[in-house]
Amino acid sequence: MNMEMNMNKMGKLVLSALSVLGITACAASSTEQAEVVGESQDALVTCNGTVAGGFFGSDTLYNAMQDALAGWGVGGLTYLGTGSSNGERCLRGSAAVTCGGVTYCNGTSEQMLAPMSRDFSTCQAGEKSNPVALDAVALWTKSTQTATNVTTVAPVPAGLPSLPVDKVKGAFCGDGSGSAASCALTDTWGEFAVGSSSPSNALKLYRRDDVSGTTEVFKQKTGCNTFCASVKVVVDDTVAGPRLSTDAAGTSSLVSAGTCAASDSATVCLGKIAASDVNVVAYAGLDASNANNKRLSVDGVAPSTANVRALVTSPSTAYKYSRFVYLNEGNGGYTALQEDFLAWALGRAPYGPSEAELFEDAFENNGFIRCKAKSDPSYAPLACGAGLCL
């Protein structure tokens, strides 16, 4: 980077210094919080009074964003994850978000960028969708499970019950309503997939919580409205790490049992849960991959790089639950640190394509997929097309 760029970074760090120093005041009360944010939106969020420059967004993107912020190298911003909906809420100030027992973003916009595993739900004036990579909502199970494929369309494979036709929807939400009767039709491996090593065993189903963009995408693509009562929910807890929704806040049976680590994102934890039991099926992003789990194909199409990348060039042939992931923008008013990170990530002045490629590298290194392969003669970073909000 040249001298001008270094000076640009230094200047922006000086501009943001007061706001970073004022971070601890943010958690005192809702009134004081609003006053601090009014002075500088670099004072974004504190959880338990310990996190400076925090901002919310997709938990699925947690590890990729940690690496991206490290690659940016300026410091002063901390990515908290917790869910795409929380990122959208704090970007708009549209609803309260609780972090570490403190309520934020209740009527006050506290961040101007939101990493999200889905697009905006709707567009508001001045907002911009920036698709930056590809991902898939994969169905994870233990690597030793012998089933390899699950079907969602007719014809239903021989050996499986004729109804429901969509075995993924049937397992997770029955007819979409989560009724006990419809959920009971697909509650064993023998009713879910051909070739299982445990056909008579009950499915053990796990999912992300309702603030997760992954859950929103899963619902959209499957037609699920209400999940079956047997589906267990993994949530983020800023004190205990990933926990089941039935665990008391601040405690985690998953961490105490050694299944997950307190430092894991909910996505990584779901991958570990899948790896721990041959009867588990969990939906999560590609960042859930580990040496002891595997992804099931859907309708004979695996969530491979080529099949997910087809979402850009040939959507009808892509893996069914492929999706874009985003670095979305609010309606302006960026503070120095936010503006500089966004410029670095998207290759805007004073940066360029080489920095955008580094941002893309951080995502690829965490299991996400470039929209265009580097081997493509026409490669350009972040060549994902336009999102909902222009």
Task: Calculate the alpha carbon distances from 369 to 102, 114, 133, 229, 309 in Å.
Answer: 35, 19, 6, 33, 7
- The H or E element containing residue 220 is helix 213-222
Return the exposure string of 89-105: e unless at least 16 CB atoms fall within 10 Å of the residue's CB, then b: bbbbbeeebebbebebb
How much is the pLDDT for 308?
Answer: 98
Torsion from C-alpha of 166, 172, 174, 176, nearest 10 degrees: -90
pLDDT value, residue 2: 38
What domains lie within the chain, and their CATH numbers? 3-132+324-364 (3.40.190), 138-320 (3.40.190.10)
Tell me whether residue 135 is exposed, middle or buried, using C-beta atoms within 10 angstroms of its C-beta: 0 to 12, 13 to 18, 19 or more: buried
Confidence at residue 107, expressed as pLDDT on a 0 to 100 scale: 79
Instruction: Specify burial of residue 242 (Cβ count, 10 A radius: 0-12, 13-18, 19+).
Output: buried
Q: What is the pLDDT of residue 375?
A: 96
Q: Read off the DSSP letter of residue 315.
A: G
pLDDT value, residue 333: 67
Contact present, 367 and 304 (Cβ < 8 Å)? no
Q: Tokens 């670099």 map to which residue?
A: 42
On whether the CB atoms of residues 41 and 65 are closer than 8 A, the answer is no
- DSSP code for 247: S
Q: How far apart are CA 181 and CA 158, in angstroms?
A: 23
pLDDT in tens, 108-135: 788 899 999 999 989 999 999 999 999 9
Note the pLDDT tens digit of each residue in 156-185: 999 999 999 999 999 999 999 999 999 999
Secondary structure letter of residue 24 according to DSSP: G
pLDDT (0 to 100) of residue 45: 47
Give the mean pLDDT per block of 10 residues along the chain (390 residues): 37 32 29 27 45 82 96 93 90 83 79 94 93 98 99 97 98 98 98 97 97 94 98 92 96 98 95 98 96 99 98 97 97 83 97 98 96 96 95
Tell whether omega for the bond before 350 is within 30 degrees of 0, i.e. cis: yes
* pLDDT score, position 305: 97
* Reported pTM: 0.84
Tokens standing for 248? 């008391």
pLDDT value, residue 386? 92
Taking only Cα atoms into account, the Rg of the chain, rounded to an integer number of angstroms, comes to 21
DSSP bridge partners of 85 = none
